[in-house]
Amino acid sequence: MLPEEFQSRMRLQLGDEYGEFLKGLEGERHRALRVNPLKGGGCPQEARERFLALSPWHLEAVPWEEEGFYYSHALPGPGRHPYHEAGVYYIQEPSAMAPVVFLGAEPGEKVLDLCAAPGGKSTQIAGRMRGRGLLVSNEIHPQRARVLSENVERLGIRNCLVLNETPERLTEVFSGYFDRILVDAPCSGEGMFRKNENAGEEWSPENVERCAARQDGILDCAAAMLRPGGRLVYSTCTFAPLEDEGSVSRLLCRHPEMKVLDPARCLAGSGGAAEADETEGLKGEARLAAWGFAPGRADWAVEAPGSHMEKTLRLWPHRLRGEGHYLAVLQKDGSRTGGEVRSLYGTERGIPEKECREYLEFAAETLRDRPEGIYLRFGEQLYLAPRDLPALKGLHVLRPGLHLGALKKNRFEPSHALALALCPGEVRRCCPVEGAGGSGENGITAQTYLKGQTFPLEGEKGWYLVTVDGYSLGWGKLAGGIMKNHYPKGLRMT
């Protein structure tokens, strides 16, 4: 049941479209997944084509995201398939894929996902960055931050710093630091009424006002952390004007250095509106219309009249195959071509390689090439971080890059994260198990491995990357003709 006050407001917002809106909410949910391009050996097109060839589900393309696909509601669903455990895709509501498309993140940049849990948009950004540059994914709530960190690990992301901090604390450390920032703000969640039955019971006009006030503070922090010339994408999953056009217009009043960009022209080139001519912009407008995206409403932004709210975007559930979403693309005045930008405490130096002897011996025996970066040690745990990782002083860090494993006495124990970040061509020994696209060793199935079972196998002793259909699942260690299973106990299937 939709709250009566919500229905009254939506009648005023939509007028003659209100009936179609209600029908849209009453219809069946649209389920989708997004292919992980990091699992394709560095080529998104190859990753996508390979997955489409192996997929056991009927898939239809999500128009606005090349890696996105609607899937039929069939059993077993994608959430129970070995490909999910291998990080081959991320299950994501289709409308929620849109904001990152307009963010335009590129390899080598410094990008912040400020309200990142559970990780759908962060992992989408990481796919576009191709493992190069720095992605900072932050979540203020500790439990949700742990879920975020787990999803970053599952999708094999190497260049992500996962933080559990307040926006205010991050602003102290990262003033004017980021090339691009995504603010997928906490909101009243009106676009989730169809997906979450409890969302309607938790809704109230007072909560809409509280969310809008919270969004103002978050956006102030984001504006402060953005480099001159940098891009900010603001998004919500609500229909409330106070939280959508209202939040953007209030930001523009407080920060005259920010302006709204034309999303149609942002589609033409990832570098932004300045790099797209008018013809490309017109083509972009046609694409937006074909996708079912609607313009924002200037009359819903009373705080800043003339602030071009028609250049923001609304995704209505009765106009496209997805839930409700809103997004605005903004840019900070100035040029991004200035000198090097540093965080408050500079960059991490890392530890010397001589302190990683056990890992280096493991890498020489097991890996064809060592991943590049700097080494960080926390107790016995070893991480590989991007070379320009900001100093972590005073920050609550959950994941400072790629977790390599544990430095034990005279040996190295590789992590599950390292396994998921590797492709079969990067290791010396693989153990294929049976999946959707082919047979494994001695008839061993992916389910057998995911349940934590050991199995007999002949071969050279040592660490093996266990794979299903060419996708990494985890580690096994062969000794005495028995493959010991190193799939994490907490993840094992029952």
The set of catalytic residues is 237
At residue 326, φ and ψ (nearest 5 deg) are -135, 145
Residue 67: which of 85, 99, 94 has the closest Cα? 94
Q: Give the separation between CA 223 and CA 277, rounded to whole angstroms.
A: 26
Q: Give the separation between CA 334 and CA 191, rounded to whole angstroms.
A: 35
Read off the tokens for 380: 């016995």
Q: Give the separation between CA 122 and CA 105, rounded to whole angstroms.
A: 11
Q: Give the separation between CA 394 and CA 331, rounded to whole angstroms.
A: 29
Q: Give the separation between CA 137 and CA 139, rounded to whole angstroms.
A: 7
Q: Give the separation between CA 104 and CA 183, rounded to whole angstroms.
A: 14
Question: Other CB atoms closer than 10 Å to residue 337's CB: what's the count?
Answer: 7
Give the dihedral sign, CA 258/260/265/267: positive
Read off the tokens for 321: 């195959």
The answer to whether 149 touches 398, Cβ cutoff 8 Å, is yes
N-terminal to C-terminal alpha carbon distance within the chain: 36
326 membership: H or E segment, kind and range = strand 325-332
- For tokens 């006009």, the residue is 205
